[in-house]
C-alpha cells in the first residue's frame, strides 16, 4: 500500500532558482530570520539528502538506530532548526478532546502543542526521538511528563489501554513506509476503549511539505518519506482495526471545528477521483480559489476511534 520511494538524484536542485530565491524560499518555509543565508541552506540540503537516503535504505533491524542517529545529526548540526515546527490552533486541538483527559503525543518536537495542552489542564506525556528537541521542549515549565519513543513501536515505551487520546502533529510523514501500519496499530493499543488517535499531517495533493518545496519539487524527496491523502486514512482504519475515521473541518477565520465521517468520505472520493484524473484534478486541488470552493483542506487532519 505504502510504496518505499527510490533514492532520488538531487544533483540539479540548485539550478532551478537563483541563490537569492532559494534562500528566501528557505527562510519562509521554516520561519527563519535574515541571519540564515546560503551557507545554511547548502549545509541543510546536503545533510538531509544524505540522511534521507540512509533512512530509506534502512532495514527493520537497523532502522531504530539509524532514525535516532539521523534526527540527532539533523538538529545537532543544524541548530537553527531546533525550535522550528510551531503548532497552529492549539485551541482547536483542545476542542477535539474531552477536558482533563490523558494525552500521549508522538513526536512532540519543540513541545509547543503538548505544553499548551498541559496548561489547559490535560494530563500530558510528551515524547520525541531526538534528544536535542527534548531539551528545548522540556525547558518550558509545565506539568508535561517527558519520555522517549521510536515513533513506531509505541507499546515498548508506554502502557497499553492507558490514554484517552494519542495525538501526532506533522509526524507520520517522517515514518518509513514499511512502518506506517505498525505505527497506527500501536497507537490504537495505547488507547482506552473509546479513545481516539488524532493525526495531522501534510496533504499529498497539495504538494510536498518538507525541504522539497524550497526547490519547487512536486513530491517530497527529503525526510517526508510518505505524505498522505484521505483515502489512505480510510485504508489505515480498516487495516488497523479502528472503528471509525473522521475528518476535521476548521471553519475559516474561526476556532470552530467540525468532525465528520461524511466529510472524510467526501475527501476520500475526491482523492480517488484525483488519482484517476491526475493532471486536471491536481491542478484544481492546488488552486486556492477552487480548494476553498470545494471545501478541500490544506492538510490531513483526522480522528481515528478505537
Per-10-residue mean pLDDT, the chain, length 306:
70 90 95 94 96 94 92 92 69 94 93 93 89 51 85 95 97 96 98 97 90 92 95 96 96 85 94 75 65 83 98
Does residue 208 lie within any of the structural domains?
A: yes
pLDDT value of position 250:
86
If one counts the domains in the chain, the total is 2
What's the sign of the alpha-carbon dihedral 154, 155, 156, 157? positive
pLDDT value of position 89:
73
Q: Which helix (H) or strand (E) holds 279?
A: helix 278-286
pLDDT value of position 132:
47
Q: For residues 120 and 15, what is the distance between their CA atoms, to the nearest angstrom?
A: 48
Domain termination residue (choose one: 58, 81, 104): 81
Domain termination residue (choose one: 41, 60, 81): 81
pLDDT value of position 43:
97
Does residue 6 lie within any of the structural domains?
A: no
pLDDT value of position 205:
85
Does residue 197 lie within any of the structural domains?
A: yes
CATH number where 133 lies: 3.40.50.150
Does residue 266 lie within any of the structural domains?
A: yes
Statement to judge: residues 202 and 237 lie in one domain: yes
pLDDT value of position 87:
58
Statement to judge: residues 279 and 136 lie in one domain: yes
Does residue 1 lie within any of the structural domains?
A: no
Does residue 8 lie within any of the structural domains?
A: no
Residue that is written with C-alpha cell 512532540 in the block:
108
- Give the domain range for residue 59: 14-81
pLDDT value of position 285:
59
Q: Shortest CA distance to 22 belongs to which of 53, 54, 45?
A: 45
Statement to judge: residues 125 and 186 lie in one domain: yes
Statement to judge: residues 133 and 151 lie in one domain: yes
Q: For residues 174 and 180, what is the distance between their CA atoms, to the nearest angstrom?
A: 10
Statement to judge: residues 168 and 235 lie in one domain: yes
Statement to judge: residues 71 and 175 lie in one domain: no
Q: For residues 170 and 242, what is the distance between their CA atoms, to the nearest angstrom?
A: 21
Does residue 2 lie within any of the structural domains?
A: no
| Ordered DSSP codes for 193-220 | EEEEEEEEEEBGGG---SGGGGGT-SS-
Statement to judge: residues 62 and 115 lie in one domain: no
Query: How big is the chain by its Cα radius of gyration, in Å?
Result: 19
Statement to judge: residues 178 and 287 lie in one domain: yes
Statement to judge: residues 94 and 58 lie in one domain: no
Is 175:152 a contact under the CB 8 Å cutoff? Answer: yes
Statement to judge: residues 221 and 160 lie in one domain: yes
Q: Would you say the pTM of this structure is higher than 0.95?
A: no
Amino acid at each position: 500500500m505504502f510504496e518505499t520511494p527510490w533514492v532520488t538524484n538531487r544533483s540539479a536542485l540548485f539550478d532551478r532558482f537563483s541563490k537569492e530565491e532559494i534562500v528566501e524560499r528557505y527562510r519562509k518555509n521554516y520561519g527563519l530570520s535574515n541571519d540564515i543565508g546560503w551557507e545554511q541552506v547548502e549545509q541543510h540540503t546536503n545533510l538531509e539528502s544524505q540522511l534521507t537516503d540512509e533512512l530509506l535504505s534502512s532495514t527493520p533491524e537497523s532502522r531504530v538506530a539509524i532514525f535516532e542517529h539521523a534526527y540527532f545529526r539533523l538538529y545537532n548540526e543544524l541548530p537553527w532548526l531546533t525550535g522550528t515546527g510551531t503548532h497552529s490552533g492549539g485551541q482547536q486541538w483542545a476542542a477535539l478532546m474531552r477536558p482533563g483527559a490523558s494525552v500521549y503525543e508522538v513526536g512532540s518536537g519543540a513541545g509547543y502543542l503538548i505544553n499548551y495542552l498541559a496548561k489547559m489542564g490535560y494530563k500530558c506525556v510528551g515524547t520525541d526521538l531526538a534528544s536535542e528537541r527534548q531539551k528545548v521542549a522540556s525547558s518550558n515549565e509545565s506539568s508535561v511528563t517527558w519520555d522517549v519513543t521510536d515513533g513506531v513501536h509505541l507499546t515498548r515505551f508506554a502502557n497499553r489501554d492507558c490514554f484517552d487520546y494519542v495525538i501526532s502533529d506533522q509526524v507520520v510523514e517522517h515514518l518509513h513506509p514499511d512502518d506506517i501500519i505498525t505505527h497506527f496499530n500501536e497507537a490504537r493499543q495505547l488507547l482506552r476503549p473509546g479513545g481516539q488517535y488524532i493525526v495531522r499531517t501534510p496533504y499529498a495533493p497539495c504538494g510536498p511539505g518538507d525541504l522539497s518545496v524550497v526547490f519547487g519539487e512536486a513530491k517530497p524527496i527529503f525526510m517526508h518519506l510518505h505524505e498522505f491523502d484521505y483515502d489512505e486514512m480510510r485504508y489505515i482504519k480498516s487495516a488497523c482495526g479502528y472503528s471509525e475515521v473522521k475528518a476535521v473541518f476548521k471553519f475559516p477565520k474561526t476556532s470552530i471545528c467540525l468532525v465528520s465521517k461524511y466529510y472524510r468520505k467526501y475527501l476520500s472520493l475526491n482523492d480517488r477521483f484525483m488519482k484517476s484524473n491526475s493532471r486536471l484534478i491536481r491542478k484544481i486541488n492546488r488552486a486556492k480559489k477552487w480548494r476553498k470552493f470545494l471545501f478541500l483542506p490544506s492538510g490531513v487532519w483526522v480522528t481515528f476511534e478505537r
